[in-house]
């Protein structure tokens, strides 16, 4: 418990006094340093969380959340009635893929071709989006291409393009690659340049004929109700489809998200050093405060105030400075994170520079996602650091020799 005397003395030492000018400067810098450290840490964590979330949404919006791939036997359709599968999935549909070459006028372009049945294609998220142009069905001899591909090679709706397959046709002069003309029936926008440039969709039956694939080799694409909770979902799917290979969007992008996770952890450690450096100013401030208050400490001891109480007083001074600075830093960091896009636009207009360019980060605005768990962790770390650095000066104050302090004062 904290006594009334301890509270009053602590508050008295926290008040500004003219003769303690240098001490007040140290306290102010400690307060500002911890506040900025906490605020910057919250802002960086919020931006990185937002970037990760935006990236996941774009990836799962274009790619299947999970794919069931057969080994030898086709996928058993009796499994489609499984209650657990229907509880997890929003949509599941057949697909297949192959790599071909697009030939148009004077250029060629390698493409990953993905095939869907006409009525299945319109169930995809990119087809349902407002940026999709053209027919939402994949009819035979028609193709759907990305916006970036159409811009780069000047391909418009209704144009004909030639596709070449690596599988060959036997002729009198030997094997020649298959070639077939397709009409551009629609243009999609995945909002990720690499996908738009390198992926196209055609009718599933056309694709299987084009690449000499069997219908028994078709994959089952599953679109989940909760694609973010993918690790647990994958285990459930593996239990349902025990005789098939199961992989998810997370498996396909494992290296990317592992790098993001490492980067976030490293940034947390590096930016935490700002708080630690600022917190060490509290040691300096409290040490000087102890020196300045030598006579007062001696008087308190002479009237019967215990060493324990002296320690509490100086400990609370450091703790209050650190705690108030942490609270202020949290408020500043949260407000900055909420309005970070407005701040980015303001700075871009003032200095006439492009901050967070879309062509590099694939995002039209600065992402930010405030995570209460991260804020709590940052606050706890900041307070713990404050507690640690306040202990030493508090102990030194309690160990002061009363007689010597009064003799030399």
Same domain, 81 and 119: yes
Domain boundary among 203, 226, 249: 226
Instruction: Assess if residue 239 is contained within a domain.
Output: no
Same domain, 18 and 149: no
Same domain, 74 and 187: yes
Domain boundary among 226, 241, 272: 226
- DSSP summary character for residue 72: S
Instruction: Assess if residue 243 is contained within a domain.
Output: no
Instruction: Assess if residue 15 is contained within a domain.
Output: yes
Q: Give the H or E element holding residue 333.
A: helix 307-338
Contact 157, 178 (CB under 8 A): no
Residue 195's domain comprises: 66-226
Q: Is 92 exposed, middle or buried (0-12, 13-18, 19+ CB in 10 A)?
A: buried
Same domain, 366 and 295: yes
pLDDT value, residue 405: 53
Same domain, 399 and 265: yes
Q: Is 270 exposed, middle or buried (0-12, 13-18, 19+ CB in 10 A)?
A: exposed
How big is the CA angle at 167 (ends 123 and 200), to the nearest 5 degrees?
A: 30
What would the pLDDT profile of 210-219 be if each residue is shown by its tens digit?
A: 888 888 888 9
In the chain, the number of structural domains is 2
How far is residue 409's CA from residue 399's CA, in Å, rounded to a whole number?
A: 17
Instruction: Assess if residue 391 is contained within a domain.
Output: yes
The position carrying tokens 């006594």 is 3
The pTM for the full model equals 0.69
164-172 — which CB contacts under 8 Å span 24+ positions? Answer: 164/100, 164/101, 164/102, 164/103, 165/98, 165/100, 165/210, 165/211, 166/99, 166/100, 166/211, 167/210, 167/211, 167/212
Per-residue model confidence as pLDDT tens for the chain (409 residues): 677 777 777 777 666 555 555 456 767 777 888 888 888 888 888 888 888 777 777 777 778 888 999 888 888 888 888 888 888 888 888 999 889 898 877 788 889 999 998 888 888 888 888 888 888 888 889 999 998 888 888 888 988 999 988 876 666 655 677 888 999 999 998 877 778 888 999 999 999 988 888 888 889 998 888 887 788 888 888 888 888 999 888 887 777 777 777 877 887 888 778 777 777 777 777 777 776 667 777 777 777 777 788 788 878 888 888 888 889 999 999 999 888 888 888 877 887 776 666 555 556 677 788 888 888 888 888 888 888 888 877 887 777 666 655 554 5
How big is the CA angle at 91 (ends 86 and 95), to the nearest 5 degrees?
A: 120
CB atoms within 10 A of CB 26: 20
Same domain, 118 and 263: no
Same domain, 221 and 297: no
Report the DSSP pairing between strands 107-116 and 89-104: antiparallel
Same domain, 169 and 206: yes
Through-space distance between the first and last CA atoms of the chain, rounded to whole angstroms: 32
Contact 98, 212 (CB under 8 A): no
Dihedral angle over CA of 52, 58, 61, 64, nearest 10: -70
Instruction: Assess if residue 236 is contained within a domain.
Output: no
Same domain, 305 and 331: yes
Nearest to 372 by CA among 334, 341, 340, 323: 334
Nearest to 170 by CA among 116, 208, 212: 212
Domain boundary among 226, 248, 277: 226
Same domain, 70 and 48: no
pLDDT value, residue 261: 77
Instruction: Assess if residue 246 is contained within a domain.
Output: no
Instruction: Assess if residue 280 is contained within a domain.
Output: yes
pLDDT value, residue 13: 67
Same domain, 141 and 263: no
Nearest to 263 by CA among 68, 95, 91, 52: 52
Instruction: Assess if residue 250 is contained within a domain.
Output: no
**Percentage helix, strand, coil, to 5, in the chain?**
60, 20, 20
Same domain, 168 and 285: no
């Amino acid at each position: 418990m904290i006594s009334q005397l301890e509270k009053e003395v602590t508050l008295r030492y926290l008040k500004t006094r003219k003769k303690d000018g240098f001490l007040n400067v140290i306290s102010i810098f400690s307060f500002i340093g911890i506040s900025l450290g906490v605020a910057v840490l919250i802002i960086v964590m919020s931006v990185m969380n937002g970037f990760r979330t935006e990236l996941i949404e774009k990836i799962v919006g274009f790619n299947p959340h999970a794919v069931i791939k057969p080994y030898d036997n086709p996928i058993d359709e009796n499994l489609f009635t499984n209650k657990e599968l229907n509880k997890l999935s929003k949509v599941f549909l057949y697909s297949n893929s192959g790599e071909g070459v697009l030939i148009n006028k004077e250029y060629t372009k390698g493409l990953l071709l993905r095939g869907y049945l006409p009525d299945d294609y319109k169930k995809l998220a990119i087809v349902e989006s407002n940026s999709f142009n053209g027919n939402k069905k994949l009819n035979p001899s028609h193709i759907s291409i990305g916006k970036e591909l159409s811009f780069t090679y000047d391909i418009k709706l209704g144009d004909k393009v030639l596709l070449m397959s690596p599988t060959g046709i036997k002729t009198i002069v030997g094997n020649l690659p298959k070639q077939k003309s397709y009409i551009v029936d629609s243009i999609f926008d995945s909002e990720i340049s690499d996908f738009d440039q390198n992926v196209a969709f055609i009718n599933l039956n056309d694709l299987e004929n084009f690449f000499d694939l069997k219908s028994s080799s078709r994959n089952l694409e599953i679109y989940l109700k909760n694609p973010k909770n993918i690790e647990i979902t994958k285990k459930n799917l593996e239990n349902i489809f025990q005789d098939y290979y199961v992989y998810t969007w997370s498996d396909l992008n494992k290296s990317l998200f592992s790098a993001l996770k490492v980067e976030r952890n490293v940034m947390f450690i590096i930016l935490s050093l700002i708080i630690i450096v600022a917190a060490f100013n509290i040691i300096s401030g409290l040490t000087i405060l102890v020196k300045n208050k030598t006579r007062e400490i001696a008087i308190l001891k002479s009237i019967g105030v215990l060493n324990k109480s002296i320690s509490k007083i100086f400990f609370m001074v450091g703790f209050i400075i650190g705690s108030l600075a942490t609270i202020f830093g949290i408020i500043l960091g949260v407000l900055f994170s909420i309005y970070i896009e407005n701040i980015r636009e303001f700075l871009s207009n003032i200095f006439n520079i492009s901050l967070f360019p879309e062509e590099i980060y694939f995002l039209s605005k600065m992402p930010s996602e405030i995570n209460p768990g991260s804020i709590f962790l940052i606050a706890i770390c900041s307070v713990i650091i404050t507690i640690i650095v306040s202990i030493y000066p508090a102990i030194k104050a309690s160990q002061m020799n009363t007689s010597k302090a009064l003799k030399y004062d």
